[in-house]
Amino acid sequence: MKFGFVLPNNWGLADPRSIVDLAVEAEELGFDSVWVNHHLLNVGYIADRLEDRPYYDALTMLDWAAARTERVRLGTSVLVLPYLHPMVLAKQLATLDQLSGGRVIAGLGVGSLPEENAAMGVGYADRGAQSDEFIEVMRRLWAPGAASFDGEHYSFSDIVASPKPHGALPIWIGGSGNPAQRRATQVGDAWHPMASVNGLARRMPDFVAKLETAGRSRDDIVVAPRIDARQVPDASAVDAWRDAGADQLVVGTSSTEMSEIRESLAHVARTMSQSRR
């Protein structure tokens, strides 16, 4: 079982450099990856939690984490695609992938915060269809040579985007519902839901059936739920996640206190070590 740690760029901490320090610590403790959260505005449930405290930019934080680490994979959990543009994001991710030596994982989702969409003037009802096109546009821009695309939301011909990432940049699809599962089975390298261990076990048979419908097998995709540190109290819990269908666990902590976050990081590291014996 591989483990990732979610950096708390979304919890209003005063010093963003201390958050990057956690990426270094996670690498030293043996984690396989570090992850950042993505929202742009303090509205809706984000405002309820943070008021006017900072929610640091996802890719800027990941850039700093990349510069301070050497081994861990660098992931987004997850970028909300309707707030972004595929040509800009393709360039940003490919550049970071080059700088980091091919360590980037693009975790992508459609979002679930209507207040943010409304404030930014972007559609909410059609965000799924737009995101499907978004992913296809990035894949084409990352492929060798010039790219063309003719869709409802994006259209261009013979465009060259450079740099390209190191090989095929992995795309992880966030979300637990049927649309996210469909997207993951059709275009994802991984399915990255938020789930309980029992919830994942219940969803896996249907997810595997969707994979087969898409002409793929279970071995073609990584299942990597995002969970809270409290969901892995000990090594036996890791076994339960593995039995439920998880290949990797991406673990975060819901806290505004750095001391509590560091304590959770150390706890998960111990559990991770025990589970690998």
Structural domains in the chain, sorted by start = 2-275 (3.20.20.30)
Point out which residues pair with 104 in neighbouring strands. 74
Encode the chain (277 residues) as per-residue pLDDT tens digits. Answer: 999 999 999 999 999 999 999 999 999 999 999 999 999 999 999 999 999 999 999 999 999 999 999 999 999 999 999 999 999 999 999 999 999 999 999 999 999 999 999 999 999 999 999 999 999 999 999 999 999 999 999 999 999 999 999 999 999 999 999 999 999 999 999 999 999 999 999 999 999 999 999 999 999 999 999 999 999 999 999 999 999 999 999 999 999 999 999 999 999 999 999 987 6
Nearest by Cα to 173 from 105, 85, 109:
109
Cβ(249)–Cβ(232) below 8 Å: yes
Beta bridge pairs of residue 227: 251
Report the pLDDT value the prediction gives residue 277, as an integer from 0 to 100.
Answer: 66
Q: For tokens 């706890």, what's the residue?
A: 267
Entry pTM: 0.97
